Structure 1
Amino acid sequence: MKFIVSWKIPKGSVADSEARFLKTGAPPPEGVKMIGRWHGLSGGGVLIAETDDGKALYAWLAFWNDLLEFQTTPCVEDAEAGEVMATLKR
């Protein structure tokens, strides 16, 4: 399953989060595939992750939870959404 993960960096966490990112590179853990990650100019960002292991995704985000604020939602691609929409009776 794919997940959209967006984050915000509170003003008081910018320097520490930048230092941790530069030190670690923030790679996904085993069991989580990062499709892509984009850093916004406003100090936040978004990534798309794919995993069947919710615990692994949780562990990845928990490592950053002291510095970043996350929103995470499962998502589907256009083709998958279209399949669902085609079955709706309206």
Structure 2
Amino acid sequence: MHWSFKTGYHEIAAKKFLATGAPFPQCKSFKRLHGPGSCEGWILVETDDPKVCYEHAAEWAEIMHWTVTPVCTDEEAAPLIAKVYG
């Protein structure tokens, strides 16, 4: 999940983050990454339910832009590629 602050919302987002910790309890694991000095970052999420990503993005949508890109590992992708091209 890629996030960036909407114009004029950096301080509001920072205060909300500091006050809440921006929990993501519905997923197996997550790692939040910040681009220093850039007003953007990423959250790497492991979940079997993509709806948790939608919910988290919706909770912050008023102050942040989101791009959510599902990804899979080589081990997950290989059988799918073999199905199409094999």
**What count of residue pairs does the alignment treat as equivalent?**
85
> Which structure 1 residue ranges, 4+ long, deviate > 4 Å from structure 2?
none
Give structure 1 stretches of 5+ with no counterpart.
Answer: none
Give structure 2 stretches of 5+ with no counterpart.
Answer: none
Q: TM-score, normalization: structure 1?
A: 0.77
Question: In the TM superposition, what is the alpha-carbon distance from 1:36 to its structure 2 partner?
Answer: 1.4
Aligned residue runs from structure 1 range 4-83, under 5 A? 5-29=1-25, 31-41=26-36, 42-83=38-79
Query: Would you say the 8 A contact 2:24–2:30 is kept in 1?
Result: no
Q: Give % identity.
A: 34
Partner secondary structure for residue 51 of structure 2: helix
Amino acid at match of 1:71: T
| C-alpha RMSD of matched pairs (Å) | 2.0
Q: TM-score, normalization: structure 2?
A: 0.80
Question: In the TM superposition, what is the alpha-carbon distance from 1:38 to its structure 2 partner?
Answer: 0.6
Write 1 or 2 for the structure with the bigger share of strand.
1
